[in-house]
Amino acid sequence: MDDRFAGIRSRVEAHLADVLKPFGDGPVAEAMRYAVRGGKRVRAALVMEGARLHGVADDRSIWPACAIEAMHAYSLVHDDLPCMDDDDLRRGQPTVHVKWDEATAVLTGDALQSLAFEMASHPDGAETGAARAELALTLARAAGGQGMVLGQALDIAAETAETPLTLEEITALQAGKTGALIRWAATAGPRMTGDDSGPLDRYAKALGLAFQIQDDVIDVTGDAGAVGKAVGKDAAAGKATFVSLLGLDAARARAAALAEEACEAISCYGQDAESLRQLARFVISRQT
């Protein structure tokens, strides 16, 4: 898995660089390149490994893989803005609005979102027009007011709510904010071929929640220098998190149980899905 994962990261970096070449050297173009740089590429790996399980070549799955990375990068650029989470660091570097300015950050996020749909529907990706349309349609739903944007809106509302969210409410919030794009990434492969996406969707539903729980654990236990962004902000703001509601040990145990649930969901693929099982275990062991 390590070699495969490293290969996916390298391929995504190269592909995004190629796609962004025609954008020129203006501030927005430079900020787009800056925003998509680095990261663990978990979402891209989900796309490419799910696609591999359904017989899709890497040359084709790289397009939706980079689409989800562009969409994710857009969400981070906007999430870091002063009107949202107001963060100065991302991946150990100044955030886009700090390095440039707020207007450039807004436009950069807008451009990355558009680029995501361009790549999801690119003719070199899924072979049929119907499959490309399905990828674009489902990406819009996952990223928009029924998915990620809804989750972000609920998260913002929680900051000023009179009472902290319940465990059930946090789970619903994170199903949109974090989970929606993860589920899209995992199911992109079978969508490219018109196959059943159920097993990978169940895998991703458990994985997305485990991912967010581990994020909450890192926010409590992590070091800002190692994590590459501010930590402890949720506790300082008095926000309810999986850790504050469950306790640190119980949150870790819940994440581990969800990772195993994710692995069980893809048992139908046998050994061919071992890389996805390793990815699930990586998600709950990461420290950044």
Q: Reply yes or no on whether the pLDDT at 58 is more than 90.
A: yes
Q: Reply yes or no on whether the pLDDT at 1 is more than 60.
A: no
Q: Reply yes or no on whether the pLDDT at 233 is more than 90.
A: no
Provide the 10 A C-beta neighbour count for residue 133.
13
pLDDT attached to residue 164 = 87
Measure Cα distances from 9 to 222, 228, 268 in Å.
24, 18, 27
Measure Cα distances from 272 to 53, 233, 244, 269 in Å.
7, 40, 38, 6
Indicate the pLDDT class of residue 226, thresholds 50, 70 and 90.
low
**Average pLDDT over the chain, rounded to an integer:** 94
pLDDT attached to residue 162 = 85
Output 210 or 3, whichever has higher pLDDT. 210
Q: Reply yes or no on whether the pLDDT at 266 is more than 90.
A: yes
Indicate the pLDDT class of residue 61, thresholds 50, 70 and 90.
very high
pLDDT attached to residue 12 = 98
Chain segment 131-179, per-residue pLDDT in tens = 999 999 999 999 999 999 999 999 999 988 888 899 999 999 999 999 9
- Average confidence (pLDDT) over 115-121: 98
Q: Reply yes or no on whether the pLDDT at 263 is more than 70.
A: yes
Helices and strands counted in the chain (H then E): 16, 2
Q: Which conformational region is residue 164 in: left (phi greater than 0), alpha (psi within -120 to 50 degrees), or beta?
A: beta
Find, among 97, 103, 100, 104, the residue nearest to 80 by Cα: 97
| Burial class of residue 225 in the structure, from the number of CB atoms within 10 Å of its CB (0-12 exposed, 13-18 middle, 19+ buried) | exposed
pLDDT attached to residue 138 = 98
